Amino acid sequence: YRFMADCYRLENEIEGVTPGFLYNVALLNKNILLQYSSGKQNSQKDSFETQWIDIQKKLKPGECAIEFVQYEKFNRNYLGALILKHKGTPVFIRIISVEQLNSFILADRITVEKAVHSDNSSYKNLLYSSEQLGKLIWPDQLMSHVADADKIYFSPDGIFHNLAIEYLFPESDSYELYRLTG
């Protein structure tokens, strides 16, 4: 955990290099968690050697992959996105702090955190009817990087596991979104 947190302290420090490194860290982290949660020990060495360049080779023109990550930086948790296209190097975008997202008020003092953890269907409806929430999760900076894609593959992390963020995607009629989970 400390290693992962230390890696994200480097965000955006070395343009073009750090986002690729962070993408590889995210892949390694998710692979470890996937194997741990499944209870299976994969003895294949190459299961831990997948890197962003391997994923990029599988992307076709018009496709992009987003690794959402929840990470700690200076004792605060943040959500970020590592965006990978058919060509070029990955791009890292800090989205929002987890605290800001959880405390975002949807309506009538109902916060995102309360709605996510509630069994009340009207609270859930508040989540998916909020354009402002969609703009927090899919900010303009992120949207500008995926604007030329028509297929977006994404892997959630943190609170995004509990939210169907694909239903909060602006302009969802113009894109095909594919949630990738283990």
Establish how many alpha carbons lie within 13 A of residue 78's alpha carbon, considering only the half-sphere containing its beta carbon.
18
Q: Given this model, what pLDDT does residue 15 score?
A: 46
Question: Contact, 72 vs 5, CB < 8 A?
Answer: yes
Place of tokens 């703009």: 135
Confidence of residue 13 (pLDDT cuts 50, 70, 90): low
Q: Given this model, what pLDDT does residue 27 score?
A: 76
Q: Which residues of 21-35 are buried (b: 16+ CB within 10 A; e: fewer)?
A: bbbbbbbbbbbeeee
Question: Contact, 92 vs 71, CB < 8 A?
Answer: no
pLDDT at 16 over 50: no
pLDDT at 24 over 90: no
Composition of the chain by helix, strand, coil, percent to 5: 45, 25, 30
Q: Give 25-82 pLDDT, tens digit per residue.
A: 777 776 665 565 555 555 554 455 678 888 899 999 999 999 998 888 888 999 999 9
Q: Residue 121 corresponds to which amino acid?
A: S
SS (H, E, C) 18-36: HHHHHHHHHHHHHHHHHHH
Sign of CA dihedral 43, 51, 78, 124: negative
Average pLDDT for 159-163: 93
Enter the pTM of the model.
Answer: 0.80
Share above pLDDT 90 across residues of the chain, in percent, rounded to a whole number: 59
Q: Given this model, what pLDDT does residue 181 score?
A: 76
Confidence of residue 104 (pLDDT cuts 50, 70, 90): very high
